[in-house]
Amino acid sequence: MSGARNGPLTLALAFDPRSNSLDFLRWFMAFLVIFSHAGPVAGLYGGEDLGVQISDEQSLGGVAVAGFFFFSGFLITKSRQGRSTIWRYFWRRLLRIMPGFWAALILTVLVMAPLAWRVVYGTFDGYWSTVVESPKTYFSENMFLTLSQRNIAGLGETVPYFTLHGARDWNGSAWTLSYEFLCYIVVGLLGLFGALASKRFGTAFAVTVIGLNALQWLGAGDIAGLNRVFADPFMLMFFAPFAFGMLFALHGDKIPIDDRAAIGMLGLGLFTYAFGGWNVLGQFGFLYFLMWCGVRLPLTRWARFGDFSYGIYIYAWPIMTLATYFGLQKHGGVIYLLTVVVVVHIVAIASWHLIEKPAMSLKDWTPKWLAAFLRLLSPLTLSAKRKIVNPDFSSTRFADSLRASDGPGS
């Protein structure tokens, strides 16, 4: 039959932005983070993250975080290829990250930490007057994603996380958010300077990041010496799965969604997780498998009541920590985990409907005064663009409009 397709569908054809299972997978990965972190927080699994009993390279929580970054790289790159301006792009990213994170900080310092203080000292008195790790500075020190104050009011020495690891931290998951936002900034700048308009530039950037990450974990060369940015090993570790997601966004028309390949890639991921090579190679096989699941699983209506994965991620650690102040872990891992899962979901659902969703409804909002100012400037900016932009040497959307207005054969 003429026109018959050879081989499986590509990602571009198989992935439906409005009907896929990515919401379920992100929920599942957030759920996996809870189970992994129950080790150090509550003293389960010998006090270590779940998964390190098998892998020398990554916990199951770390695997889940790689999945988050991979899907973010795919979705954010697709978004940046749209028609929104750089300002609108960053406004939407801020709305998605900041309100929920700020709410988690406020809930921790106003509710959870005072309850922990009450358990330790038998009273609420003295909590707000604490000078060391003051509750009054907890929000301001952490509000821009760089966690400068991990603990509150000197608490933490009575719970498993301190007795096992000597650490005190009210949100040991949130530190990855700064890397996530750095990835957003990079994609925003790549789009601003035309690197996403050309697949070659975008691909070169992503492949370079993945290659440098491989060299870092192989110990080949002085990667940290290339630039002080790379002195932080987490930079490349998180950027690599994000960059892999970028490749899926840029080359979806060439990436097949093949059932046999998915099984083989999962096998590669499992093998390297157990025997070595996960950070260099294996994670990318697993990430392909995740995308295959996103297309092939029939759980396309998972988020019909809301997207709770982000809320689960940012509220889980504080709730898990508070539970240890009440000694919930002493009743057994099953009771501890079930209780935490239920409470975290309740808080995440409330966060979505009361904070995150209302914030996202402002994604296209522009203050009236700013809209009026932009309209006033519009003739001037349009005139300047016409004088400056040469469509023969520009990849901007304005240049595209000029080329389109010239018509074919001009």
Q: What pLDDT, in 10s, does the model give residues 12-55? A: 999 999 999 999 999 999 999 999 999 999 999 999 999 999 99
Judged against a pLDDT cut of 90, whether residue 3 lies above it is answered with no
Judged against a pLDDT cut of 80, whether residue 342 lies above it is answered with yes
Lowest mean pLDDT among 81-95, 302-316, 324-338: 81-95
Mean pLDDT of 343-356: 98
**Cα 172 from Cα 291, distance rounded (Å):** 27
Judged against a pLDDT cut of 50, whether residue 1 lies above it is answered with no
Phi, psi of 256 (to 5 degrees): -75, 145
Query: What's the predicted TM-score (pTM) here?
Result: 0.93
Lowest mean pLDDT among 74-83, 137-146, 209-218, 291-300: 74-83
User: According to the model, what pLDDT value does residue 408 have?
Assistant: 53
Mean pLDDT of 225-236: 91
Q: Residue 330: CB partners within 8 Å, gap ≥ 6?
A: none
Number of alpha carbons in the 13 Å side-chain half-sphere of residue 45: 17
Mean pLDDT of 366-385: 88
User: According to the model, what pLDDT value does residue 81 have?
Assistant: 84
DSSP conformational letter for 55: -
Among 88, 83, 77, smallest CA distance to 398 is for 83
**Cα 99 from Cα 354, distance rounded (Å):** 10
Number of alpha carbons in the 13 Å side-chain half-sphere of residue 353: 9
Token reading at 319:
């709730």
Lowest mean pLDDT among 4-18, 124-138, 173-187, 314-328: 4-18
Mark residue 40 as left, alpha or beta (left: phi above 0; alpha: psi -120 to 50; beta: remaining).
Answer: alpha
Among 176, 171, 32, smallest CA distance to 104 is for 171
Judged against a pLDDT cut of 50, whether residue 410 lies above it is answered with no
**Cα 28 from Cα 30, distance rounded (Å):** 5
Q: What percent of the chain has pLDDT over 90?
A: 81
Lowest mean pLDDT among 128-142, 192-206, 336-350: 192-206
